[in-house]
Amino acid sequence: MAATMRNSVLILLFISMFFTSCDSNKIYEENFAVADNGWKADDIKTFEIEIEDTISALNLYINLRTSTDYPYSNIYLFLYSEYPDGYSDKDTLEIILAEPSGKWFGESSGTVVENRILISQGGRFATKGKYVFKLEHGMREEVLPEIIDVGMRVELMQ
């Protein structure tokens, strides 16, 4: 019985190390739930990222979880960026979420579709300090239905 318990503990330890090491290139990730699966136009999601490394190449992603009942094949987002030196910027992004046939991109699990969209590959932050990114939906609806989560992720480029 002790050997069985020891084997179980070793298996659990191996599994936890596996999942931890799979995400070792993550620098930052934060996701915000959308209340009642309806993203309001004035609900701007804010991400504050403290950057110390100005040498490593990084990838920047937007995470988006929708239901399969999301009524569009795309989404427009406004990305506001504020840099430690005071510079700010606004970009408009169109993210395609489904093929013309209706087949969803991303990972589907039942009625949930998870997308991790690469928006910057191999870039470097020029200055150490706090970077603030804000995401706002740019669709024509006051409440955009069937949005579950919105997030951002920064990871080391491999």
pLDDT attached to residue 63: 98
CB 118 within 8 A of CB 92: no
CA distance 155 to 24: 9
As given in the structure block, the two tokens for residue 52 are: 């110390």
Judge residue 42's burial from the number of C-beta atoms within 10 Å of its C-beta, 0-12 exposed, 13-18 middle, 19 or more buried.
Answer: exposed
- Order across the sheet with 26-33: list the strands: 26-33, 147-156, 58-67, 112-123, 107-109
Question: How is the chain split into domains, by residue range?
Answer: 28-156
Tokens of 73: 């094949």
Instruction: Report the top-level CATH class of 28-156.
Output: mainly beta
pLDDT in tens, the chain (158 residues): 455 444 444 444 344 444 444 578 999 999 999 999 999 999 999 999 999 999 999 999 999 999 999 999 999 999 999 999 999 999 999 999 999 999 999 999 999 999 999 999 999 999 999 999 999 999 999 999 999 999 999 999 98
Stated pTM of the model: 0.82
Looking at residue 15, its pLDDT comes to 41
What one-character-per-residue DSSP string does 13-61 give? HHHHHHHHHHTTTEEEEEEEEPGGGEEETT--EEEEEEE--SSS-EEEE
The answer to whether 57 and 122 have CB atoms below 8 angstroms apart is yes
